[in-house]
Amino acid sequence: MSIARWIPGEGPRDKLLERGAAALSDAELLAVLLHTGYRDCSALEMARSLLAEFSGIGGLMRAPQDNLLDCPGVGPAKYARLRAAMELACRQALQTACKGDVLSSPSDTRRFLQYHLGSRNREVFTCLFLNSQHRVQRCEDLFFGTLDGAAVYPREVAVRALQYGAAAVIFAHNHPSGVAEPSSADRRITERLCAALSLLDIRVLDHIIIGSGREYSFAGEGLL
């Protein structure tokens, strides 16, 4: 059933217009994006089914294209709407960060990075380059990997930091498994990056690992 065919006042779209998007559940918000369900399944029922299948909105956003397209009622148009919505959220978060407004506290930094990395289904190593006032000059995804990891090269990080005139950096990468605890490899590469950048008088403020709805901060754990 199409959202447009709900009885006036009862559908998720009407609820959003009357009470605001924050009043909607995850399933209701997803139903608005889906717009239609399929035979004998409303958009809201379909949304609930998808959230159950992928263990919530985070799992849904990380789901590979083929897995989503295999779900009943999800065709290319619905998949495109879901990915476009997530990409808009990521770009809005990045735009705000680059204005220097969002990284005023460690919690704001982690929140931004959850937007930026939380939905990725492969490992991505990101670097935030900051000026001497710790305002973000640039956010760049530098290295990409498979589900299991990404190769990180300190020389390339140093080159980019000098290119952007950075006085400080924050590293981040995601764990597609959802577990935010650092591996021994994560600890080793953090040490190598800190050593390389210290020679250039560039401070490493943090290395944050993004898991499923949670984060691990090297600085917060006293490891930097």
Residue 124's Cα: distance from chain center in Å? 10
Q: Does residue 92 carry a pLDDT above 70?
A: yes
Average pLDDT estimate for 150-164: 91
Residue 127: its pLDDT value, please?
A: 94
Confidence label for 150 from pLDDT (cuts 50, 70 and 90): confident
Are residues 126 and 33 both part of a single domain?
no
Are residues 84 and 9 both part of a single domain?
yes
Are residues 104 and 41 both part of a single domain?
no
Residue 3: its pLDDT value, please?
A: 53
Confidence label for 103 from pLDDT (cuts 50, 70 and 90): low
The residue that leads in pLDDT, 120 or 10, is: 120
Provide the sign of the torsion angle of the four alpha carbons 86, 91, 96, 102, taken in this order.
positive
Assess if residue 164 is contained within a domain: yes
Are residues 32 and 130 both part of a single domain?
no
Which residues, 6+ apart, have CB-to-CB distance to 40 below 8 Å? none
Confidence label for 216 from pLDDT (cuts 50, 70 and 90): very high
Are residues 129 and 180 both part of a single domain?
yes
Are residues 163 and 202 both part of a single domain?
yes
Q: Does residue 9 carry a pLDDT above 60?
A: no
Total domains in the fold of the chain: 2
Supply the range of the domain harboring residue 79.
3-88
Compute the distance between CA of residue 121 and CA of residue 147 in angstroms, rounded to an integer.
Answer: 7
Assess if residue 224 is contained within a domain: no
pLDDT, tens digit (0-9, with 9 covering 90-100), for 175-189? 988 888 999 999 999
- Mark residue 23 as left, alpha or beta (left: phi above 0; alpha: psi -120 to 50; beta: remaining): alpha
Compute the distance between CA of residue 141 and CA of residue 47 in angstroms, rounded to an integer.
Answer: 31
Residue in 207, 200, 197 with CA at minimum distance from that of residue 128: 207
Are residues 61 and 127 both part of a single domain?
no
Are residues 78 and 127 both part of a single domain?
no
Assess if residue 39 is contained within a domain: yes
Are residues 106 and 190 both part of a single domain?
yes
Q: Whole-prediction pTM value?
A: 0.68
